[in-house]
Chain A
Amino acid sequence: MFDLRDLYQQVIVDHNKSPRNFGKLDACSHEADGYNPLCGDKLHVYLQLSDAGIVEDVAFEGEGCAISIASASLMTEAIKGKPVADFEALFRDFQHMVTSDLAEQPDDERLGKLAVLGGVREFPSRIKCATLCWHTMRSAVQGSHNTPAKTE
């Protein structure tokens, strides 16, 4: 079970059970859909930016596996209250972590709590579960509402 606990760390199990920022945002400046046709995971993310470009509020709803729900929950925590201008760098750091070589330690300083998702590297078929919410949020941030975000 050691391997599995690498993936399903307690933080992930907790966030799956009680996802943070889960639900609708009635007032939002940005939103986007995400869909993974392979497994049917669906997400919708909402973002409320202040005039100064700060993420005042963020929420998500949808259905998916523990990895995808926990990843979305952790993502909303990570970006709430931060400048939206920082999102792209965090997106890249996260993307790098989940696709990097197993020997490379996740950069705790930059990723903070998100580092618990580093375990997905060992499970190639599950990486997209962790990245769907990031791609979806990126479409929301970039304002491309027309087509649902995908992980490829």
Chain B
Amino acid sequence: MSFDIEQLRGDFPILHQQVYDRPLAYLDNAATTQKPKAVIDAVRHYYERDNANVHRGVHALSERATAAYEAAREKLRALVNAASSHEIIFTRGATEAINLVASSWGNTHIGAGDEVLVSEMEHHSDIVPWQMLCERVGATLKVLPINDAGELCMEQLDDLLNERTKLVGIVHLSNALGTINPVADIITKAHAVGARVLVDGAQAVAHMAVDVQALDCDFYVTSAHKMYGPTGIGLLYGKETLLEVMPPYQGGGDMITMVTFEETQYNELPYKFEAGTPNIAGTIGFGAAVDWLNDNGIANIAAHEQSLLAYAIGQAEAFDGLRIIGTAASKATVLSFTLQGVHPHDLGTILDREGIAIRAGHHCAMPVMQHFGVPATARASFAAYNTKAEIDALFEALGRARDLFA
């Protein structure tokens, strides 16, 4: 498998444009990645040739749509190495997947006096659903702190885990800091006290190989649009034994086998959790994104991104007045930073006019901002198609921003 960056960039129509008369350098991949032509074509093909509802039609189009939809499920199963495709539930995204677990599993397995443990570096989507659950059932939300490098304080984990801990929610790869967390260790320790673990892999799946069986996680969630797929589609992986006993999250079509006004029998997995006509086009696009990742090789992509990140960190460390937020020993894809004298939002605007797209803000991780005592950071985040030339352009523009405010 070869990794030819020019050829790979050719797969992404959107990259080949000028923004304010400058070549676009898209460095906001932690917010969402761009889509390769194969994904766009798969969605278009579905609407042009196969559009029909799934799981019910007897006609050719419905059969083709159903086959493509279920083929995507199998591709995702293989990508994260789930034991069965019954364990892959399609959701609107990682956020909905976490809400599904917090509602369905949480309502039936967490009660007054129990504890849910999350980390200080979680995205709001892995904080708020648990907070809401704790309020509903009278449980307590506990927080595993981070250190000033943006790493989990693992030495405090043993003290925070106890027989009251029912669930640990932990991000695999932090969107705000780039930290890769030792989730396997956390899962082992959580299981030792009888807690279940949900891993938020919204950022991770595009940047590293994920094996849910090797991790032994109970739940794993991700979003297609952060891994070259469409928006509005994501997945929940759950161990079949857990999913089997969980009540449905939403009621409606497709999640039933029989309905009367007296009672309803629920469908088997995974359909029990997929009420209503799903995002069929998005799911098919999700499957095409998996094919694209496999064709290019996640290991190749990860190696390329690591060399970009090392190159960017080298420039950042030499840049006067720049403070890197998140210096974990194990990190990927994200360079979060502040620049003395220039607010991140001003940086965002200035870089935009140079054709460079970055994110400025709290990255939906306000507790991380609070930890580092900053209201916001600027964040450049890299994907398979980024180049060192784009990083050079970023730092040249940062120099001009500094001059503008001098």
Interface residues of A (CB under 8 A from B): 1, 3-5, 7-8, 13, 16-17, 38-42, 63-67, 123, 125-126, 129
Contact = CB atoms under 8 A, between A and B. Distances in A.
Interface residues of B, number: 20
Nearest to B360: A39
A95 to B, nearest CB: 20
A71 B229 CA distance: 41
A4 B20 CA distance: 11
A1 B20 contact: no
Nearest to A42: B375
Contact of B349 (A1, A16, A63, A126): A126
A66 B362 contact: no
B346 A8 contact: yes
Given A3-B20, A13-B405, A66-B343, A41 B375 contact: yes
A3 B405 CA distance: 15
B345 interface: yes
A83 B105 CA distance: 61
B345 A1 contact: no
A42 B369 CA distance: 14
Contacts of A4: 349-350, 353, 404
B376 interface: yes
B346 A1 contact: no
A17 B344 CA distance: 15
9 contacts: A4-B404, A7-B349, A8-B404, A39-B360, A39-B376, A63-B375, A64-B375, A65-B344, A67-B345
A63 B405 CA distance: 17
B285 to A, nearest CB: 28
B346 A67 contact: yes
**Those 6 A-B pairs whose CB atoms lie nearest each other, nearest first:** A65-B343, A65-B345, A40-B375, A66-B346, A65-B346, A63-B375
Interface in B316-353: 341-346, 349-350, 353
Question: By CB atoms of chain A within 10 A, which of B349, B375, B376 has the most?
Answer: B349
Contacts of A126: 345, 349
B367 interface: no
